[in-house]
Chain A
Amino acid sequence: GQNIDQPTEMTATEGAIVQINCTYQTSGFNGLFWYQQHAGEAPTFLSYNVLDGLEEKGRFSSFLSRSKGYSYLLLKELQMKDSASYLCAVLDSNYQLIWGAGTKLIIKP
């Protein structure tokens, strides 16, 4: 079966750094996406990794290791507006997105 695991909830402090992990077991791999979703809103695209390594985009970075079936999203200089759910999704061999359950990130002042 196909499976994507990420923590259900994490808490961090404003101004700090947080790393959200995602592990996956899928039938094939054509890339991994991270999306941000605020409560009551649709997901918005954050990053896409298809090759191993770190992709940096402002305060957000995403890392991928295909051999380990592992990715993380790193958020720096946390702001209160970063409180949201972060969804990890893998594009499988049929180019279908397999979604993780999401990680709810709570930012405290």
Chain B
Amino acid sequence: GAVVSQHPSWVICKSGTSVKIECRSLDFQATTMFWYRQFPKQSLMLMATSNEGSKATYEQGVEKDKFLINHASLTLSTLTVTSAHPEDSSFYICSARDGDHSYEQYFGPGTRLTVT
């Protein structure tokens, strides 16, 4: 099956610093990647959708200058949380889709971010 990796799996950072999370599709080309955020005991919240080589499409209420997304290749997308604050602490999950073959989204294992 299709495998998506995420790195790091968890990170603790100080308020005001920036954190970069990587999402890689290991055995397929991801035409589209998605970034989600999930707070404890809540459902997934889509933050943005990115297609390789183009700007990400952000959902309403998500600050694009705070959550920088780069989908530089068909196997890598990065999410950078800039000037992180404690309220940004959450579980960040990426998913990838090989749109040429199916519309199923393959999820990465997630990154738990704690901002102190």
* Contact count band on B: 10 to 19
A33–B104 Cα gap in the complex (Å)?
A: 8
* A7 at the binding interface (Cβ < 8 Å): no
Binds A, one of B14-22, B41-49, B67-75, B81-89: B41-49
Residue B35 CB within 8 A of the other chain:
no
The answer, yes or no, to whether B29 is at the interface (CB within 8 Å) is no
B109 interface residue per 8 A CB criterion: yes
How many chain A residues touch the partner (CB < 8 A)? Answer: 21
Interface SS of B by simple majority: loop
B89 CB to nearest chain A CB (Å): 14
Q: Which residues of A contact B99 (CB under 8 A)?
A: 95
B56 within 8 A of A: no
A49-93: CB near B (< 8 Å → 1, else 0) gives: 000000000000000000000000000000000000101000100
A24 to B: closest C-beta gap in Å: 14
Chain A, residue nearest B44 (CB): A99
Contacts of A95 in B (CB 8 A): 99, 103
Residues from chain A with a CB closer than 8 A to the CB of B42 are: 101
Residue-wise interface mask of B (72-116) relative to A, using a CB-CB cutoff of 8 A (1 in contact, 0 not): 000000000000000000010100000100011111111010000
Q: What are the 7 tightest A-B residue pairs by CB atom distance, in nearest-first order?
A: A42-B107, A101-B43, A42-B110, A102-B43, A42-B93, A43-B107, A42-B109
Between-chain CB contacts (< 8 Å), 6 pairs: A40-B91, A42-B108, A43-B93, A48-B104, A87-B44, A99-B44
Q: What residues make up the interface of B, taking CB atoms closer than 8 Å to A?
A: 34, 42-44, 46, 49, 91, 93, 99, 103-110, 112
